[in-house]
A and B are shown apart, each in its own frame.
Chain A
């Protein structure tokens, strides 16, 4: 089978020849090409080209990715710093937007076409559409945008100290995400769009399920519902970090019938699949620490373990890096994932 049919089979509820491998190679493709990360992140066309070459090199099954987790700050009027060196790994908010509660009510919702990373995302989308693939909509999580607007530690403190201000910020961030989704859908049509999001600020490494329920859950429910009402039914979510206590809440959000749920190494694959009711394709969760500085054998064995755990999950399974491929991973560690899937991922 070729990658496309292999992955398609999983989404259609059929068994492919073997478990597909998603390497989650994004900016790592720039490392492979010896190109500065800055160029990768500011040139979406180049980002696609390099990732496709990397895919040919390793033979994994996922398509291309683009974007970064630390967003919301730039879009709402703060500043972004693109990586100057490889070890910085990804762009990050270098100046937040809100320093005092008095600034919250007057915070404007930014333009859904020209704000922050959106023009770059649109360049990426234009090319994806030209390739016959889907345009991406950044769906959240809304907590990420709130963290970008406020600063991470301030957000964590304000959950308890200034809860009403935090709610206002979440609402504005949700309005923005919905408006940006609408703009993308208007341009490319709902059937040509897919929603992706990652949730590192909602992890139980940081917050309780109660806080997640109180702040993120209601607005994320609104965002998901509205985007689905606009006709988009392709979703993929990445639960970054430990989401053990949040899983029931994630499962209770409005979702399409079937989507991709990828997990970090900190969250149990089987528990997640059970909690979501075995409807969705589960992907995960090869340790990024092994990928970054473990040996070939460590990555290989860890991938085998993930495959053995996930292979027969009723909703379907893809073995995947637990987060974006670390930009300094030794190339053979990426290959170790593919080799393991070839060796032990077969379905009879």
Chain B
């Protein structure tokens, strides 16, 4: 018998938390076969699962390998759902350019932030690690990004973040492109000083990004 929508959503969330790619795909397929709303599948199913996984990480129940497996399950469900999103839902997403600043190759935290942002419906372009400041700005201009998200774990490379903010200022882009920063040595006061916004972890980064694109926070 066909499962109802709420039941499918809950099962999808659970299969993401339980890192089960195959089951997530199966449930997502069943969901689209029933012609339920695609956006809800992401928001109330897949993303909810990822959100719970994030909580388990904070509680030291899950670690990075588990989170990566959850995100694999989430992405495999997303593949099935994506073609069924209404056109407007697909193109209306806010865009973010993310990367690790020049000189630094610590990218595990950045990868987590990227996963959480994508899960929450952002269109994320990942430049990778060890990225010169100008490349962030060029890419953001090219794809009309709303936000640049910068990560670093080393104190020696923090000034790369400041440089990105500086270039945006010089090019008069600070209103159009907001900057979000994070990583071990980064603090709110550092972010304030360079004209960026700070969040301490991947889950909070999502909330911050949502506020920033809604323009609730101004520099």
A residues adjacent to B (C-beta < 8 A): 70, 85-89, 92, 152-153, 156-157, 159-161, 204, 206-208, 211, 245, 288-289, 292-293, 326-328
Contact = CB atoms under 8 A, between A and B. Distances in A.
Contact of B65 (A89, A159, A204, A328): A159
B62 to A, nearest CB: 8
Closest 10 CB pairs of A and B: A292-B155, A87-B103, A87-B156, A88-B103, A157-B68, A159-B65, A208-B63, A328-B156, A156-B65, A206-B64
Contacts of A288: 155
Contacts of B104: 87-88
A288 B156 CA distance: 11
B50 to A, nearest CB: 15
Interface in B64-84: 64-66, 68-69, 72
Contacts of B185: 289, 292-293
B73 to A, nearest CB: 11
A157 B111 contact: no
A interface majority secondary structure? helix
A153 B105 CA distance: 12
* Candidate in B69, B102, B156 with the most chain A CB atoms within 10 angstroms: B156
A83 B170 CA distance: 29
Nearest to B106: A152
12 contacts: A85-B103, A87-B103, A152-B107, A153-B68, A156-B108, A157-B69, A161-B72, A208-B60, A292-B155, A293-B155, A326-B154, A328-B155
Contacts of B64: 156, 206-207
A207 B69 CA distance: 13
B66 A153 contact: no
Given A159-B65, A206-B64, A326 B108 contact: no
Contacts of A206: 63-64, 108
Name the residue among B63, B69, B102 with the largest chain A CB count within 10 angstroms.
B63
A211 B155 contact: no
Given A87-B160, A204-B63, 8 more contacts: A70-B105, A85-B103, A87-B159, A153-B108, A157-B72, A208-B60, A327-B156, A328-B156
Contacts of B72: 157, 161
B108 A152 contact: yes
Nearest to A154: B68
A270 B158 CA distance: 32
A244 B156 CA distance: 27
A88 B156 CA distance: 8
Contacts of A86: 156
A156 to B, nearest CB: 5
Contacts of B103: 85, 87-89
Nearest to B112: A153
A161 B107 contact: no
Contacts of B184: 289
Contact of B69 (A153, A160, A208, A326): A160
A157 B159 CA distance: 31
A202 B33 CA distance: 44
A156 B156 contact: no
Contacts of B157: 87
Interface string B50-66: 00000000001001111
Contact of B105 (A92, A160, A292, A293): A92
B72 to A, nearest CB: 7
Nearest to A158: B65
Contacts of A208: 60, 63
Interface string B130-144: 100000000000000
Contacts of A292: 155-156, 185
A88 B102 CA distance: 8
Given A153-B107, A208-B63, A89 B68 contact: no
Interface string B161-205: 000000000000000000000001100000000000000000000
A87 B154 contact: yes
B13 interface: no
Contact of B63 (A207, A289, A326, A327): A207
Nearest to A93: B105
B19 interface: yes
Contacts of B108: 152-153, 156, 206
Contacts of B102: 87
A74 to B, nearest CB: 14
Nearest to A31: B156
B69 A161 contact: yes
Contact of B154 (A89, A152, A159, A160): A89
B19 A160 contact: yes
A265 to B, nearest CB: 11
Nearest to A290: B155
Nearest to B103: A87
Nearest to A152: B108
A24 B68 CA distance: 34
